Amino acid sequence: MKRLFVIVFLPVLFAACHLISDDLSVCGEDLVIDYQLQLHTELSLQLQTELMTEMEAPVRKALEKWLSPIFTDKAKDIDLRFFSANLDDIRHQIEEVINDNRTSYTIKLPKENYMHLALANMEDNRQVRLSGGRHSQTMELLMPDKQEVEALNTGIFSARLPMEVNDTTKHFDVHLYMVTAAVALVIDTTACDSLVSVSAKMDGSAYRFAVRDSAFDFAQTRTMLMEQVPIDTDENLIPQHRAAKADSTHTYACLSTVGFATQDDMPWTITFTAKLTHNRRTTTTLTIEDALKAGTLRIIRATMNGKGELEPNEDGREVGASVELDWKEGGEHDIEM
């Protein structure tokens, strides 16, 4: 799905030219720049495709409500920066809350080469920090300086465009692509009557995104905490199940997080812990071979057995599972499978 908002550069007053350059003879050229937010993921369609059964309908609806603010094609706010290609200093900047798909501005730029960098939906995010924004070479998005990070709460978009402003070039197209990515773990918990609560975290998310290079940095990685998605149905009783349920009833747990992409050709993991009655805990580590790409949603489905162990339902996609039981009743010891 695509939405278009347009930024138009038109003639302005003498004072506006002076803000950009003291040499009024190179006050600038009138430009038109079209900005377009592009989503790789059509959220509703993907959920309908991967969670298609009637039993999964409550999970599908819950995930769509949970992730719709992330996978949006609407720019709440924008940050547009124009850097001199020669000196790499910032020559002009526009920051504004727009809450719309279309807007326009009036500005002139002097004739020279620029590197244009754009960001959208940064204002409300609580975790990602913009750093080095006075120069294009150093402009980057950084995760918090701690190992475990809460799920990101906005879908961030970025764009880069080298621009040559001259007598003939008057129009530029800028496409903004999503930097963030999401993961959802959907678990059929029907077979585990002793389940009390669930928790999970994802390992392998990049910690840095260089805006000019449009590249992630994996020198360090972050652990993204997964949040439990509320499922609006009486049959889904996490953290507690009903004491009795009909044979045809399925119960589900769903956890999700939003972070940066994972590294190509490197597996990433989800560590899932089921807390059972009598203070028993079962931890399953899922290893995913396919990289999590920026702008995508990865849904991983699994079935829980009576011990709280997970078995992935991935239909040929490579997801491995290892299990550790923390059951110390009656002189038993930790068992690693």
**Residue type, position 35, single letter:** Y
**Domain definitions of the chain by residue range:** 2-39+71-178, 181-336
pLDDT tens track for 239-285 = 444 443 444 478 999 999 999 999 999 999 999 999 999 999 999 99
Please give the torsion angle defined by the CA atoms of residues 315, 225, 282 and 309, in that order, rounded to the nearest 10 degrees. Answer: -10
The pLDDT score that the predictor gives to residue 16 is 39
**CB 120, CB 157: distance < 8 Å:** yes
Q: What is the DSSP letter of 77?
A: E
Kindly state the tokens that stand for 5.
Answer: 């908002």
Residue 92 CA to residue 87 CA, distance in Å, equals 14
The pLDDT score that the predictor gives to residue 2 is 45
Average pLDDT over residues 155-169: 90
Residue 109 CA to residue 26 CA, distance in Å, equals 9
Instruction: Give the CATH architecture of domain 2-39+71-178.
Output: Sandwich (2.60)
Which residue, chain included where needed, has tokens 């465009």? Answer: 161
Question: Which carries the bigger pLDDT value, residue 290 or residue 27?
Answer: 290
Average pLDDT over residues 109-136: 95
Q: Would you place residue 12 in the very low, low, confident or very high pLDDT band (cuts 50, 70, 90)?
A: very low
Chain length of the chain:
337
The pLDDT score that the predictor gives to residue 242 is 41
pLDDT tens track for 18-47 = 333 344 334 677 787 888 888 888 999 999
Q: Judging by DSSP bridges, how do beta strands 171-178 and 32-38 pair with one another?
A: parallel
Is 91's pLDDT higher than 70? yes
Residue 92 CA to residue 61 CA, distance in Å, equals 43
Q: Dihedral of CA 284/127/142/92: which sign?
A: positive
SS3 83: strand
Q: Would you place residue 166 in the very low, low, confident or very high pLDDT band (cuts 50, 70, 90)?
A: confident
Q: Would you place residue 101 in the very low, low, confident or very high pLDDT band (cuts 50, 70, 90)?
A: low
**CB 86, CB 94: distance < 8 Å:** no
- Measured at the CA of 206, the angle between CA 205 and CA 212, to 5 degrees, comes to 145
| High-pLDDT (> 90) share of the chain, % | 64
Question: Which carries the bigger pLDDT value, residue 327 or residue 125?
Answer: 125
Residue 82 CA to residue 85 CA, distance in Å, equals 9
Is 138's pLDDT higher than 90? yes
Q: Would you place residue 331 in the very low, low, confident or very high pLDDT band (cuts 50, 70, 90)?
A: very low
The pLDDT score that the predictor gives to residue 315 is 61
Cα end-to-end distance, the chain, whole Å: 44
User: Which DSSP string corresponds to 280-302?
Assistant: EEEEEEEEE-S---TT-EEEEEE
Average pLDDT over residues 3-8: 44
Assign a CATH topology to domain 181-336: Immunoglobulin-like (2.60.40)
User: Which among 76, 84, 77 is positioned nearest to 134, based on CA atoms?
Assistant: 84
Q: Judging by DSSP bridges, how do beta strands 29-30 and 335-336 pair with one another?
A: unpaired
